[in-house]
Amino acid sequence: MKNTREYEHKKVLVLGLAKSGVSAALLLHKLDAFVTVNDVKPLKENPEAMGLLEEGIKVICGGHPIELLDEGFELIVKNPGIPYTNPIIEGALERNIPIITEVELAYQISLAPMIGITGTNGKTTTTTLIDLILAESNQNPLIAGNIGTVASEVAQDATEDNVMVVELSSFQLMGINTFRPQIAVLTNLYEAHLDYHGSKTLYALAKKRITENQTPSDYLVYNYDQLEVRELIEDSKANKVPFSLYEKVEGAYVYNGSIYFKEEQIIELNKVALPGKHNLENILASVASTKLHGAENSAIVSVLTSFSGVKHRTQFVTEKDGRRFYNDSKATNILACKSALQAFEEPTILLAGGLDRGNGFDELIPSLKNVKGLVVFGQTADKWRQTGEKAGIEWIVFVENVESAVPVAYENSLPGDVILLSPACASWDQYKTFEVRGDMFIEAVHKL
């Protein structure tokens, strides 16, 4: 960890706990800052806060009192999920108090260079692939961010011999100041998180921040096939390296049944284990990033021929009586569900539904051509029924939840069918997280 005295005796408010808040508070305490933690959850229901109290850190729980700003804080480290419309954040902005997220702290203390990955979809798969390939190349990667361990915790133990591979959300990137990855990756850009950002333009600008501090000695790996991405990063100072499914570019691309990096053939497509066109974008991004970091082709081939998916992201679960089960619980929006559906040509039974955010699902109708059965649950079950009827799906069944959906799908399936959980909705109407929902699906499958 870099020795820094920047936070010594500085009054810092850590707003919101969870893993990132706990890590930030402990790190700042170690750096001799005067730390106050504020979390909305009451203290007796808040084991994280009680643990910080035992470390001698000041903790205020049970709400976000605006009076906190009268204590003269010089910096706020904000949990990424807290919106900028929060009264304390609005008040801090009015008083010109700097606001960062813990990934900025991670960058400031890390001795290791960073590869940062962002985008609407594919971040986790791309991050995982980069980590696996660099590990296979003996480059000592440390995976962090939205996947794995909090970045500011990983950075404390990182050395010059490591490379930090960090998955980054738009929420995290809004709170950076000096953060500068050696290699930045922008997988794609679609409409998302409008309730937080207010517009797609503001969302895109948040994503763009991954490259704002880069210099010509850094690299920006980006999706050449999206004009919007090309225009967004046009003024980046980084060395821009594209990837494309359709064109030969000065980066990673598909040509004549193989994946290439520049003029070098890396691997034939038919040897790649990970299914789906959307995953091919993730693979190209990871190939470009790891080649730029000096990975060996043999390491790339070894990973791409063996890696079959990240948990909850078109994850193959098992095959039973000729039916193959896939867990895509991470598909919390229409685009992710569409990508999963397009990965299969077999007759498919789709399990879908969840939190109602006000949208319908009719734009998925062209992607439902191979779906012969629909098992629906949650707040959006009836909306899914309407879409299924318009798409001419043979049969539609309402069930209570994911656990009850699995046996219904199995009983109505035939050998050769795919049974796919890809809800196109967040899980919060019935499950705490999409991971819990996916785990319930896996458990129900194994109970068969």
State pLDDT tens for residues 348-373: 999 999 999 899 999 999 999 999 99
On whether 121 is known to bind a ligand per the annotation, the reply is yes
**416 has pLDDT over 80:** yes
Please count the other Cβ atoms lying within 10 Å of the Cβ belonging to residue 319: 10
| Tokens linked to 71 | 């204590």
For 156-192, the DSSP string reads HH--TT-EEEEE--HHHHTT-SS---SEEEE----S-
Rounded CA separation 311/316 (Å):
8
On whether 119 is known to bind a ligand per the annotation, the reply is yes
Rounded CA separation 319/185 (Å):
35
Count CA within 13 A, CB hemisphere, residue 255. Answer: 16
Burial of residue 407 (number of CB atoms within 10 Å: 0-12, 13-18, 19+): middle
pLDDT of residue 197: 82
What Å distances lie between residue 99 and 232, 419, 436, CA to CA?
A: 24, 45, 32
6-10, 130-134, 191-195, 382-386: lowest mean pLDDT where?
A: 191-195
Sheet arrangement for strand 163-167: 141-145, 163-167, 114-118, 183-186, 219-223, 239-244, 252-255, 258-261, 264-268
User: What mean pLDDT, rounded, does the chain reach?
Assistant: 95
Beta strand ranges found along 328-405 (DSSP E): 348-353, 371-377, 395-398
Which residues, including other chains, have CB under 8 Å from residue 51's CB and lie 6 or more apart?
A: 22
**Residue 181 contacts residue 112 (beta carbons within 8 Å):** no
- Identify the CA nearest to 13 among candidates 85, 78, 61, 86: 78
Please count the other Cβ atoms lying within 10 Å of the Cβ belonging to residue 54: 9
On whether 332 is known to bind a ligand per the annotation, the reply is no
pLDDT of residue 18: 87
| Tokens linked to 325 | 């089960």
Please count the other Cβ atoms lying within 10 Å of the Cβ belonging to residue 111: 15
| Tokens linked to 12 | 């810092």
Confidence of residue 7 (pLDDT cuts 50, 70, 90): very high
On whether 279 is known to bind a ligand per the annotation, the reply is no
- Identify the CA nearest to 340 among candidates 320, 367, 305: 367
How confident is the model over 38-77, as pLDDT tens digits? 999 999 999 999 999 999 999 999 999 999 999 999 999 9
Mean pLDDT of 107-115: 97
What Å distances lie between residue 227 and 189, 209, 224, 287, 338, CA to CA?
A: 10, 18, 7, 21, 20
**192 has pLDDT over 90:** no
| Tokens linked to 314 | 């078109």
Which residues, including other chains, have CB under 8 Å from residue 273's CB and lie 6 or more apart?
A: 304, 305, 306, 307, 308
How confident is the model over 422-434, as pLDDT tens digits? 999 999 999 999 9
On whether 123 is known to bind a ligand per the annotation, the reply is yes
Burial of residue 18 (number of CB atoms within 10 Å: 0-12, 13-18, 19+): middle
How confident is the model over 264-298, as pLDDT tens digits? 999 999 999 887 777 899 999 999 999 999 999 99
What Å distances lie between residue 24 and 42, 55, 100, 104, 375, CA to CA?
A: 20, 13, 11, 10, 42
pLDDT of residue 392: 97
Give the architecture-level CATH label for domain 315-447: Alpha-Beta Complex (3.90)
The reply to whether CATH 3.40.1190.10 applies to domain 111-304 is yes
- Helix (H) or strand (E) run with residue 34 in it: strand 34-39
Provide the residue ranges of all domains of the chain, joining segments of one domain with +: 11-100, 111-304, 315-447
Comparison of pLDDT for 411 and 194, the residue scoring more: 411
Comparison of pLDDT for 235 and 120, the residue scoring more: 235
For 102-156, the DSSP string reads HHHHHHHH-SS-EEEEE-SS-HHHHHHHHHHHHHHTT--EEEEETSSB-HHHHHH
**238 has pLDDT over 90:** yes
**435 has pLDDT over 90:** yes
**105 has pLDDT over 80:** yes
Mean pLDDT of 386-409: 97
**Structural fold of domain 11-100:** Rossmann fold (3.40.50)
Q: Apex CA 163: angle with CA 284 and CA 12, to 5°?
A: 115
**23 has pLDDT over 80:** yes
Confidence of residue 87 (pLDDT cuts 50, 70, 90): very high
Burial of residue 10 (number of CB atoms within 10 Å: 0-12, 13-18, 19+): middle
